[in-house]
Amino acid sequence: MTNKIQLTITRPDDWHVHLRDNEALIHTVPDAARYFGRSIVMPNLNPPVMNTKQAMAYRNRILESRPAGSLWQPMMVLYLTDNTKPEEISQAKASGQIFACKYYPAGATTNSDSGVTKLSNIASVLSQMEKESIPLLLHGEVNDHNVDIFDREAVFIDQQLQKLIHNFPELNIVLEHISSKESAQFVAERPHGLAATITPQHLLYNRNHMLAGGIKPHYYCLPILKRDVHQKALIAAATSGDPRFFLGTDSAPHTTCSKENACGCAGCYSNHAAIEFYAEAFELAGALDKLEGFASHHGPDFYGLPRNIDTITLKKMPWKNPTKLPFMKNTITPLGAGEMRQWQVT
Ligand code: DOR
Ligand code: ZN
């Protein structure tokens, strides 16, 4: 068991975050820029970020909220639809600011109504991405009302991911926010070209936290938290040192009232304390020595980008996670609201 009270690591990056737009950026961008060097910014705005022009305009709006002196970089992503054209991919690549394209199965999650209805509809786009070496980021769930919500990720692997990898063997793919032992195992067994991000909520919590003793909507995200056997498999994957697993918070702001609702929104907000959450999960697993690889090395290595060159230092100094954060004229109830957290960045 590692028993450290201080830890210095290469500056980490976040390979999956939702910043939203306009006034929301005043809150989300400074949180993202606290300690991360870079963040991969999800394009599920309303309307979505579907082309290079929209991505560049969104990037400029984001940068207006970047704190003075910060070197944090937003990395832009295009939202794929049934109508995305291969030429869009070439333009995105030429911009130098677009690092990936995101597949949302239509209707599967927040602002995914314009997503892809069938992967075969975007075959020519995927083939162009393969040629241009642009990674495909997957929301890896089937959106089928006949499939139990706890099985949607495993069914996606069986019905769609295997075929996708077979049809596009050179396409770099990130299975985002993995939530099941099936995903962890599938990724670990592939030799190259497939990686996965893991969120703090899937490492620290399981469905009992969300459903036992009353429904706790602030743990509700998609893919949904599952049994503890899945949580354990994700902890094992994240702390294994395997370079195919890396940090992606999926921090996704929704107001407190839109989650405490008869039809609550999916998403957990963690960017106000992201690296702190991960440090706690790694410490609980006795694997603090594996945090740096997961948080700071494996992501840039997979994307073919340089690692950050400076460092951050975490200290074990317990503090109380706030119950609410201000968010425009509302509040956000963050992940683990009101709980004691163990680590702080000095
Ligand atoms: O929990 C989630 N929230 N999962 C997603 O896929 C989308 C995200 C959001 O945008 O709120
Ligand atoms: Zn997400």
Alpha carbon 142 to its chain's center: 18
Pocket flag, ligand 1, residue 19 (CB < 6 Å): no
Helix, strand, coil percentages (3-state) for the chain, rounded to 5, are 35, 20, 45
Tell me the best of 42, 49, 177, 222 to mutate to test the pocket of ligand 1, counting ligand atoms within 8 Å of each CB and taking the most: 222
Query: Residue 122: how many CA atoms within 13 Å on its side-chain side?
Result: 28
Decide: 266 in ligand 1 pocket, CB within 6 A. yes
Ligand 1 geometric centre to CA of 10 (Å): 28
Q: In terms of residues, how long is the chain?
A: 346
Give the distance, in angstroms, between the CA of residue 305 and the centroid of all CA atoms in the same chain: 18
Quote the tokens at residue 55.
Answer: 């991505």
Q: Is 250 a catalytic residue?
A: yes
pLDDT for the residue 99: 98
Q: What is the pTM of this model?
A: 0.97
- 40, 44, 259, 268, best to mutate for ligand 1 pocket (most atoms within 8 Å of CB): 44
pLDDT of residue 108: 86
Which residue in 250, 289, 301, 310 is the catalytic one?
A: 250
Q: Is the CB of 139 under 6 A from ligand 1?
A: yes
Q: What is the full per-residue pLDDT of the chain (346 aa) written as tens digits?
A: 445 799 999 999 999 999 999 999 999 999 999 999 999 999 999 999 999 999 999 999 999 999 999 999 999 999 999 999 999 999 999 999 999 999 999 998 889 889 999 999 999 999 999 999 999 999 999 999 999 999 999 999 999 999 999 999 999 999 999 999 999 999 999 878 999 999 999 999 999 999 999 999 999 999 999 999 999 999 999 999 999 999 999 999 999 999 999 999 999 999 999 999 999 999 999 999 999 999 999 999 999 999 999 999 999 999 999 999 999 999 999 999 999 999 999 9
Task: Kindly state if the Cβ of 18 falls inside 6 Å of ligand 1.
Answer: yes
Q: 125 CA to middle of ligand 1, Å?
A: 24
Give the model's pLDDT for residue 275: 98
The pLDDT value recorded for residue 3 is 59
pLDDT in the model for residue 2: 47
- Closest residue to atom 7 of ligand 1, CA basis: 110
* Angle subtended by helix axes 52-64 and 24-32, to nearest 10: 80
Most ligand 1 atoms within 8 A of CB, residue of 18, 28, 197, 255 to mutate: 18
Q: Is the bond leading into 86 cis (omega within 30 degrees of zero)? A: no
For 53, other C-beta atoms within 10 Å of its C-beta total 11
Q: Is 138's C-beta closer than 6 angstroms to any atom of ligand 1?
A: no
Q: Whose CA is nearest to atom 4 of ligand 1?
A: 222
- Ligand 1: residue of 143, 221, 265, 333 to mutate (most ligand atoms within 8 A of CB) is 221
Using the mean position of ligand 1's atoms as its centre, give its distance from the Cα of residue 276 in Å. 21
Measuring from atom 10 of ligand 1, which residue has the nearest CA? 110
CA atoms within 13 A on the CB side of 96: 0
Closest residue to atom 8 of ligand 1, CA basis? 267
Write the CA distances from 306 to 84, 178, 298, 310, integer angstroms: 30, 25, 11, 12
Report the nearest atom of ligand 1 relative to the CA of 254: 11
For residue 109 and ligand 1, the question of a CB distance below 6 A is answered with yes
- Ligand approaching nearest to the C-alpha of 109: 1
**What is the token pair recorded at 235?**
């902890």
User: Tokens for 85?
Assistant: 């054209």
What does the pLDDT read at residue 110?
84
Q: Does the beta carbon of 101 lie inside 6 Å of ligand 1? A: no
The number of the ligand 1 atom at minimal distance from the alpha carbon of 176 is 6
| Distance of CA 5 from the midpoint of ligand 2 (Å) | 32
